[in-house]
A and B are shown apart, each in its own frame.
Chain A
Amino acid sequence: MSIFDGIISGFGIALTPMNLLFGFLGALIGTAVGVLPGLGPAATIALLLPITYSIPSPVPAVILMAGIYYGAMYGGSTTSVLLNLPGEAASVVTCIDGYKMAQQGRAGAALGIAAIGSFVAGTVAVVGLTLFAPPIAEFALGFGPPEKFALALLGLLMAVTLSGDSVVKGLIIMVLGLLFGTVGIDPISGKSRFDFGVTELQSGFDFVTLAVGVFGLGEIFYNLEQQGAAEIVTTKVGQVFPKMADWTKARMAILRGTLVGFFIGIIPGGGAVIASLVSYAVEKKVSKHPEEFGQGAIEGVAGPESANNAASSASFIPLLTLGIPSNASIAMIFACLLIKGVTPGPFLIVEHADVFWGVIASMYIGNVMLIILNLPLVGIWVQLLRVPYSILAPVVILFTMIGSYSIANQAFDLYTLIAFGVLGYALRKLKFEAGPLPLAFILGPMIEGAMRQSLLMSGGSFSIFFTRPISLTIVALFALFVVGQIFVSVRRSSR
C-alpha cells in the first residue's frame, strides 16, 4: 500500500462518526488538561486507560489518547500567558515572554499566535510523520548515549541565553537547577543522593512541580504582596488577535520552532519539554533584537509553542514505527495498544494498517478541531484576567495542588510545590530570572548519565565523543558557539 492509498484509507477510518467523536473528545479533554495548571496529559491518559477497555477497537481508543496528548500542547500556553503559570510542562518557557505580553495588554495576541503556531507545527509534523516516518525513525535510533551527551551539552550552553540582563545571575540559577537535578537515585551507581532519608526524594524532584512552583506560585506570592499592583495586571485585556506586525515577527519563529520541535521529538528521551526550551534559546540567538526577549517578545511565545506541538506529534514516529515509547504519555498509549492486542513496531503498518493510518489521519483532523476550538476560546480566556485577584489566586493555587498531587498520587509533592513556590518568590524579590532553572534541571542528569554511560561503553576513553559522526557534528557545533561567543565579546570589549 502506497503512502497515498494509506492516508486515504486512514481518512476513511478517521472520518467515521465514532472516530470523529473520540477525536473531538480527545481534543476537548486535551485542551482542558493543558489549561489546568499541573495536570498533565500523562496523568490524564493514565486515568482514562480503564475506560478504553470497554471500547471494542483499538483505533478510537488511541485516537482519543493521542488527541489528549497533542491537545494539551494547545491549551498549555493559556495559563502561562495569563498567570505566569505553566499549564503543562512544555509551556514553562512560554511564561517568560507570554506573561510579559499579558502585562502589556497583549494577552490576546500571545494566545492567538500560540494557537496558530500550534496548528501550523502540529500539521507540518503530521505531514512529516506521514511521508518519512520509517527513515526518520532509523535516524533517531542513531542517537545513543554519546550523541545525547553532546546534544544536552549544547542545550545547556543555550540555557545561558535564557538568563536576563546579568549572566552571573543566570549562571547562579543554572547551577541551582543542576543541583536540584542531582537529587535522587543516581542511575549509574544506584546510590541515592541528597535524599536526607526521605524515600519520596529518591526519585528526585518532579519537573512539573518544580516549574509550577517556581514560576506560578512564586508569581502569586509576589503579587499578593503588591497591594493593588495585582489589580492593574488583571484588568488589562487588550486586543484579542495578533496584529499584522506580530504576525510578521512570529512567522519565521513558528517555522523554526516546528523544525526544532520535530527534530527533538523524534529522539528517544527528547520530547516536547526540551523542544520548547531549545526553541526559545534559538529564537533569542537568531533575533536581531535579543534585548526584547524577557520583555514580551512574541517570537518567544510563537517558537516554543510551535516546537512543543511539533515534538508531541513527532514522538509518535518512534512509537508507531519502532515500538519505542519516548516519554510518559506515549508509554501510556503504548500500553493501551498492547492491552488491545496491537504491538507497535515495524509491522504495525502491515498488520494493523487501520491503526497506523487511522491514527495519523485523525491527527490532521484533530489539529483542525483544536484550532477551531482554541481560537474562539482565546477571547474567553482573556476575560479571566477580569476576575479579581483575591478570587483568582486561591482558585489557581487549588488547581496547582490537584495537578501536583495527580503526578504520583502522593502528598509529598504538595510540600515540594510550596517550597518551590517560596523559592520562586525569593528569586523574584532578588531580581533573578528563573528561566535557566528548568532547563538545567532537565539537562543536568541527562549530561551526567549519558556521559558516564558513554565512558562505560568506551572503556573510559573520551574519543567516543569525537569518533561517531553525529556526536562529532554536535560537539563541533558546540565549539563553534563557544569560539564565536568569545570572538564577539573580545571585539566588543576592544571597541
Chain B
Amino acid sequence: MKRKIVSSLVIALVVAFMVPAAFSQDKFPSKPINVIVPFAAGGSSDLLARAVEKIWPKYSPQPLVVINKPGGGGVVGTEFVVRSKPDGYTLYVGYGSGHDVVMPHLQKMPYDTYKDLAAVSRLSVHSVAICTGAKSEFNSIKDMVAWAKKENKPITSSVSTKAGAVDITITALGKAAGINIVTVPFSGGADAVTTLAGGHVMIGGGHPSEVMPHIKAGRFKPLAVALPERDPSLPDVPTLIEQGFNVHTWGSIKGVAAPAATPKEVVEYLDGTLKKVCEDAEFKKLMTDLSQPIMYQNGADFAKFLQQAYGDYGKLIKDLNITIQ
C-alpha cells in the first residue's frame, strides 16, 4: 500500500514536471503576441499595426495585441523591445522609421538598432509626397524652382519634424535644385499637413496616408514623390527623378522586428504569417483605404534593404550637413 502511494506520488511528480515541459515545447505561438508600436495611437504606424492585428487571427491560432509605447521619437518603445525576452512574444512594428534610419546618424542611441534587433519582414514604405495648396500657381516642382529663381525668394515648407525624413528630403531637393527652401518643423505630420491646408506655407511634405484626405478633397496638389520609383498609393504622381531632380529617399520604412536573440524558427513563423497577411484580400483593401502601399519583403531581404536605406540617409545627412545642435 505504502509503495503504491509512493509510486503514484512519483508518477504524479514526473507528470507534473513533464506537463509544462510539453507545453513549452508546444508549437509557437501558445499565447497572445504583444506588438509594440513606439508611437502614439492613431498615427500611421499604429494604423498599420492595427490593420495587421485585425487580419492576423485568420492565419495564426493566437492573436496580436497592439500596445502603444510612445516617447523619445520612437526610442522608448523600441528600447523596450530590445530589452524584452527574445521569445517572439514581444515584437516591434515600425522598424525602419526615423529613429532607426536617421537618428543614429545624428545622436547617440541607447541601443544598436541593427545589432540588437532581428528583421522579421517589411510591410510598407511610407514615401515623402511633396504637395502644394490647390490655389498655388505651382503645378510641378519645375514651376516652383522657376518661381524661386525668378523672384529670388525662399520657398517655405512645413515638415513633420526637424531632421526627420520629410525635412531631409525637402532640404535635399532645395540643394539639388539650387534654391532656398526654408523648412518649418512641427511636432508631427498632422500639424505640418494642417498648416499647409491653411495656406500658411507654400509647400509641405507628408506621407501619402497624411496628405491623401486633402488630395481627395481637392485642397492639395501633389507635386512629387521622393521614392526612386512611383508610389503605388499615388500612381499618378511623378517622382523627383522623373522631373529631373536627382533626389530620392526611402521616406519612413515600416517593418516588423524582434529582439536579436529570438530563435530562428520563431522569426520564420512570424515572417511566414505576415506574408500570408500581406497577401490577404481584406488586408489589401484595408491598406488601400489607409493609403499605405503593401511592400512586403522577407526578413533577409528586409535586413539588407534597411542597411541600404540607413547608408543612403547617412550620405544625405553628411552632404547636407544636417545636425541637431
| Interface set of A (CB-CB < 8 Å, partner B) | 42, 45-46, 49-50, 53, 141-145, 185-192, 199-200, 202-203, 268-269, 322-325, 328, 331-332, 334-335, 338-339, 341, 343-347, 408-410, 449, 453, 456-457, 459
Contact = CB atoms under 8 A, between A and B. Distances in A.
B187 A187 contact: yes
A334 B212 CA distance: 13
Interface in B150-176: 154, 156, 161-163
Given A191-B325, A203-B71, A339 B50 contact: yes
6 contacts: A50-B54, A185-B73, A191-B325, A202-B72, A332-B41, A346-B218
B200 A190 contact: no
Interface string B9-51: 0000000000000000000000000000000111100110011
Given A345-B213, A410-B71, A338 B289 contact: yes
Nearest to B183: A456
A186 B73 CA distance: 11
Interface majority SS (helix, strand, loop, mixed), chain B: mixed
Given A328-B42, A331-B42, A335-B47, A456 B184 contact: yes
A45 B40 CA distance: 12
A339 B290 contact: yes
A190 B50 contact: no
A408 B68 CA distance: 7
A346 to B, nearest CB: 4
B42 A456 contact: no
Contact of B182 (A143, A325, A449, A459): A459
Looking at B47, B50, B106, the one whose CB has the most chain A CB atoms below 10 A away is B50
Contacts of B100: none
Interface in B38-89: 40-43, 46-47, 50-51, 53-54, 66-73, 75-76, 79-80
Contacts of A334: 42
B5 interface: no
B305 interface: no
Nearest to B154: A459
A144 B195 contact: yes
B190 interface: yes
Contact of B68 (A268, A323, A409): A409
A340 B43 CA distance: 15
Contacts, number: 153
Given A335-B50, A345-B214, A141 B197 contact: yes
A408 B69 contact: yes
Nearest to B289: A341
B2 interface: no
Nearest to B292: A338
B4 interface: no
B148 to A, nearest CB: 13
Contacts of A456: 156, 182-184
A339 B195 contact: no
Contacts of B54: 50, 53, 339
B286 to A, nearest CB: 7
B76 A190 contact: no
A408 B71 contact: yes
A341 B219 CA distance: 20
A49 B76 CA distance: 23
A44 B147 CA distance: 49
Contacts of A347: 216-217
Category for how many chain B residues contact A: 35 or more
B110 interface: yes
Contacts of B53: 50, 53
Given A324-B194, A331-B40, A457-B156, A199 B285 contact: no
A345 B184 CA distance: 25
A341 B217 contact: no
A201 to B, nearest CB: 8
Looking at A185, A323, A332, the one whose CB has the most chain B CB atoms below 10 A away is A323
Nearest to A339: B50
Contacts of B182: 456-457, 459
Contacts of B235: none
B66 A339 contact: no
A338 B290 contact: yes
Given A46-B68, A346-B217, A410 B162 contact: no
Interface in B87-135: 106, 110
Nearest to A445: B187
A189 B162 contact: yes
Contacts of A449: 186-187
A95 B50 CA distance: 37
A338 B47 contact: yes
Interface string B308-325: 000000000000000011
Nearest to B47: A335
A187 B167 CA distance: 12
B72 A200 contact: yes
Nearest to A268: B194
B201 interface: yes
Given A202-B71, A322-B217, A347-B216, 7 more contacts: A190-B162, A341-B285, A341-B286, A343-B289, A453-B184, A453-B185, A456-B184
Contact of A335 (B46, B80, B217): B46
A200 B216 CA distance: 38
B41 A325 contact: no
Nearest to B51: A339
A328 B68 CA distance: 13
Contact of B41 (A49, A141, A346): A49
Looking at B40, B161, B182, B194, the one whose CB has the most chain A CB atoms below 10 A away is B194
